[in-house]
Amino acid sequence: MGFPKNLFISIFVSVLGTLLVLGYFGLVPFFSNLTGASTPRDLGVRYNNSDLMSINQKTGIKYLALNGGLPKETISLQGQQHLDVAFTQEELTALMNQHSTDWRLYPIEDVQMKISAYGTVELTGVLRMDVIDEYGQATNMPVQVQNQLQDQFKYIKSNPRFYVRFKGSIENNKAIGEVYEAEIGRIPVGQDWLTANRELILGMVEDRLKNAGLFVENATFANGQVHFKGTGPQTIGFAR
């Protein structure tokens, strides 16, 4: 007895439809690309090489190429220097994209940052799920946080786009603020979850600052700029 043609077509269409839906929400690699779920929102922030040169001049950080294989061998932070400077949204966008090129475990790519006149910040890009575990190992991310991330993202089999809109400031490495909106792929993160996990989010920001070799006396966002006062590394090494 042959396999019914109509049943085969129904199954094929159902499977294809399911994959397209999952792809639309950024959960399946090939279909995420096909439906545009892996393409970040365009915030209209454009940068060029002069922005990268400008921010490197402002920070004075020297970058080295490493040959590390293990996660902890792919990044190195050395020295300390004081900074009191303003960075534009274009400069920060340029720097983050350069880091995604220079460091093979940088967890985001194709990034844009936009800062409104009143200090609301939008950040968009691609979340690199393919390196997120190794990134956590390389930067001493707390095991509890790594486990929570793995649990939250266990169904995501692609590198989805992300979007976050927030307002905040940093005082003596203490993060203050609120996340107003967040998306992974095309899936919005519920406001209830953002509210319930506010302290977890702020704590993670503080932990990331510490592990980036930064001590932030004060950082504020306004008019397309971040004003930063604090200390940072003199030399950073990355392995591609």
**How confident is the model over 22-60, as pLDDT tens digits?**
444 444 454 445 445 568 999 999 999 999 999 999 999
Cβ neighbours of residue 47 closer than 8 Å, sequence gap 6 or more: 90, 91, 93, 94, 97
φ/ψ of residue 27, rounded to 5? -105, -15
Pairing of strands 215-222, 187-188: unpaired
Task: Give me the residues of the chain with pLDDT under 50, please.
Answer: 1, 3, 5-28, 30-32, 34-35
Tokens representing residue 37 in the block = 């779920």
Tokens representing residue 235 in the block = 């030399």
Residue 154 CA to residue 85 CA, distance in Å, equals 40
**What CA–CA distances, in Å, run from 51 to 20, 48, 88, 214, 223?**
39, 6, 9, 21, 17
Torsion, Cα 101 103 108 114, to 10 degrees, reads -60
The pLDDT, as a whole number, for residue 7 is 44
Q: Which long-range contacts (CB under 8 A, 24 or more apart) does 51-57 make?
A: 51/88, 51/90, 51/91, 51/93, 51/94, 52/91, 52/94, 52/95, 52/98, 54/88, 54/91, 55/87, 55/91, 55/92, 55/94, 55/95, 56/95
Ordered by start, the domain boundaries in the chain are 1-36, 38-239
| Model confidence, pTM | 0.83
The pLDDT, as a whole number, for residue 187 is 83
Residue 238 CA to residue 106 CA, distance in Å, equals 10
Residue 155 CA to residue 39 CA, distance in Å, equals 19
